């Protein structure tokens, strides 16, 4: 997954936070199964954007869970980091493996400083 663009402009300490992975049309919003927010997906199910409803700018930790994705955000002093897990990729089996072997679940983390 390519790097997402974070839009976070809190007013009086909180506001919505958007992460977008495309500049094109987003379509209809889908409510998260867990968490407070919505997601936008392509016809093939690829994640296009998410909007977290109410995020504190001083410190916050939230996640949105959808059928195939979980998006997690951390905010501290207006600095935003996020991770995306795509469960459509093959999960590792429950058998024990050597520590050096990596999980096949896609996870990306970005840290972004948001100004006024």
SS3 43: coil
Q: Which of 31, 32, 45 is nearest to 86 (CA)?
A: 45
Report the pLDDT value the prediction gives residue 25, as an integer from 0 to 100: 78
**Whole-number Cα distances in Å, 16 to 31, 42, 79, 99:** 15, 22, 14, 39
- Tell me the pLDDT of the chain (116 aa) as tens digits: 789 999 999 999 999 999 999 988 788 899 999 999 999 999 889 999 999 999 999 999 999 999 999 999 999 999 999 999 988 775 533 333 434 333 444 455 556 656 54
Report the pLDDT value the prediction gives residue 89, as an integer from 0 to 100: 72
| pTM score | 0.74
Which residues 6+ apart lie within 8 Å of 99 measured at CB? none
């Amino acid at each position: 997954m390519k790097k997402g663009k974070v839009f976070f402009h809190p007013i009086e300490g909180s506001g919505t936070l958007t992460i977008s992975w495309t500049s094109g049309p987003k379509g209809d919003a889908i409510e998260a199964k867990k968490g407070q927010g919505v997601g936008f997906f392509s016809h093939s199910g690829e994640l296009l954007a998410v909007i977290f409803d109410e995020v504190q700018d001083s410190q916050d930790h939230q996640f949105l869970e959808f059928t195939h994705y979980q998006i997690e955000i951390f905010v501290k002093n207006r600095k935003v980091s996020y991770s995306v897990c795509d469960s459509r990729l093959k999960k590792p089996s429950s058998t024990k493996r050597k520590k050096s072997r990596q999980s096949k679940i896609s996870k990306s983390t970005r840290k972004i400083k948001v100004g006024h």
